[in-house]
């Protein structure tokens, strides 16, 4: 019996150590990774409408500097994707390739280079449940490959 009690204690301890992992699986916190091949690892992201705030963390798994292969994560209404990419191109790296005051940009991260991580947190009230949203990288020429859909479920 003593042996069984010790086993149960061990199981309880293992259970407790799993808790930080469960917290990381918060559906309101999303991750996406870009690489040196001008690709995101995901073509779709979604968060539940029950999230008050949504955080998107962008990782750059490559090695190239942001001047050569910079990536950001920009959220827009789907029909605005091409226009926001065009406007961002003219804004330059110093402005993270996002035109100042562009109301079509719902949320965006800064531009990062290889090995870097950045994130953006925005209110889900910016979005309509079931609305059609897109995300893209506005580094010049990247949006053709680096884009995807964003859904508030
Ligand atoms: Zn990019």
- Secondary structure of 66-126 as H, E, C letters: HHHHCECCEEEEHHHHHHHHHHHHHHCHHHCCCCCCCCCEEEECCCECCCCEEEEEEEHHH
- Strand-pair category, 133-136 with 74-77: antiparallel
| 11 Cα–ligand 1 center, Å | 45
| 97 Cα–ligand 1 center, Å | 10
Cβ–Cβ under 8 Å, residues 75 and 104: no
| 81 Cα–ligand 1 center, Å | 14
* pTM for this entry: 0.84
| 19 Cα–ligand 1 center, Å | 34
| 76 Cα–ligand 1 center, Å | 16
Neighbours of ion ligand 1 (CB under 5 A): 71, 137, 139, 142, 146
| Residue 26, token pair as written in the block | 């918060």
Q: Where are the domains of the chain?
A: 26-152
Regions of the chain short of the pLDDT cut 50:
1, 7-18
> Tell me, what's the pLDDT at 3?
54
> Tell me, what's the pLDDT at 26?
95
Q: Which CATH class is domain 26-152?
A: mainly beta
> Tell me, what's the pLDDT at 108?
98
> Tell me, what's the pLDDT at 70?
98
| 82 Cα–ligand 1 center, Å | 14
> Tell me, what's the pLDDT at 25?
82
């Amino acid at each position: 019996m003593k042996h069984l009690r010790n086993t149960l204690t061990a199981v309880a301890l293992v259970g407790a150590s799993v808790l930080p992992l469960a917290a990381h699986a918060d559906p309101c916190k999303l991750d996406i990774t870009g690489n040196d091949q001008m690709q995101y690892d995901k073509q779709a992201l979604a968060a539940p409408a029950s999230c008050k705030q949504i955080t998107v963390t962008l990782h750059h798994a490559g090695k190239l500097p942001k001047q050569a292969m910079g990536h950001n994560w920009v959220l827009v209404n789907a029909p605005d994707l091409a226009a926001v990419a065009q406007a961002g191109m003219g804004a330059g790296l110093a402005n993270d390739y996002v035109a100042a005051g562009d109301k079509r940009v719902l949320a965006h991260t800064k531009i990062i280079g290889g090995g870097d991580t950045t994130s953006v947190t925005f209110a889900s009230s910016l979005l309509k449940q079931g609305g059609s949203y897109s995300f893209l990288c506005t580094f010049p020429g990247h949006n053709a490959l680096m884009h995807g859909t964003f859904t508030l479920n």
